[in-house]
Structure 1
Amino acid sequence: MLELRNATSSDETDFLRLWQGFCDGYGMALPPEVTAFTWTRLMDPACPLTVRLAVLDGVPQGFAIHQHHPSTWVMGDDGYLEDLFVAPEARGQGLGRALIEDLIAIARANGWRRLYWLTEITNTTARRLYDRFCDNDGHIRYRMTL
């Protein structure tokens, strides 16, 4: 049985397990204070970041972190899927697709005009999933650390 829902404070241990798997998958080692700060912001109703969980048979097995923001390109807001992850042991069961479809439904219900996300060009597994929803738009990301 699959349930898609917002994370609550009682999900911290499961989220941290999934978050570590996400970071490991990108070969990233974040300082513990960054992870703690991220969790705190995800639980803060005043913060625009929201985390949805894919709970399979009662166990959180994936997440989608998203936010929305005003856009200069449409008359309304854009939704941004910042991070998507499914635990390796739960892959191939449609959780990633379900999390994206869930976010599409949230976006439509809230009147957002567009939804976008990024992935590594070499992440062929994720790209196969994303290509089922839409084509990439050909943009290249530039990110400056300040």
Structure 2
Amino acid sequence: MPSSAPCIIRAALPSDEPAWRALWRAYCDFYEADVGDEVTARTWKRILDPDSAVMCVVAEAEGKVVGFAHCVVHENTWETQPVCYLEDLFVARTARGRGVGAALIEWLRNAMRAEGWARVYWMTKEDNAVARRLYDRYSKADGFVRYVMKPR
């Protein structure tokens, strides 16, 4: 993808599954996450389900899906409008540094305005310097610390 090549941001389609699965695997590998086939299949099914709160937009450049953003729009207790949690954002290594991640975030910012969401929020690893350079262009980290509790 040339550095000036535009990308199209759009909802994921059933035909995107092979490309999405390849990107999803690379994303899971990046985070050293062992996400099983059952979870992957369920995630894809929810992405395509119009009644699911999970949505996925993809970035397409030169006819290829080169990135995605997974989001969950949900009610919350701090505002009267829903909020959007950007759960996963990933861009293929070959498309990085070309504005694809920014295009995905801009799409979400525009959706926030159009849909009336109170905010879009996300998190990343503290040492993910590359992603944080992009994210800091939109908002500074808010200082919250994440805790995760799992069943024993």
TM-score of the superposed pair, with normalisation by structure 2: 0.93
Could you list the per-position Cα deviations for residues 22-56 of structure 1 after superposition, in whole angstroms to 9, with x for gaps in the alignment? 01111122111111111111111111110000001
The answer for the alignment partner of 1:73 in structure 2 is 78
> Which amino acid counterpart does residue 5 of structure 1 have in structure 2?
R
Could you list the per-position Cα deviations for residues 78-133 of structure 1 after superposition, in whole angstroms to 9, with x for gaps in the alignment? 11101000000100000000000001111110000111001001111111110000
> Which amino acid counterpart does residue 130 of structure 1 have in structure 2?
Y
Identity over the aligned pairs, expressed in percent? 45
Bigger drift between 9-18 and 22-31 goes to 22-31
Tell me the SS of whatever aligns to 1:99.
helix
Tell me the SS of whatever aligns to 2:89.
strand
The answer for the alignment partner of 1:30 in structure 2 is 35
- Structure 1: 4+ residue segments shifted above 6 A: none
Task: Tell me if 1:134 matches 2:142.
Answer: no
Give structure 1 stretches of 5+ with no counterpart: none
RMSD of aligned C-alpha atoms? Answer: 0.9
Task: Tell me if 1:54 matches 2:59.
Answer: yes
TM-score of the superposed pair, with normalisation by structure 1: 0.97
The answer for the alignment partner of 1:18 in structure 2 is 23
After TM superposition, give the deviation of residue 75 of structure 1 in Å: 2.3
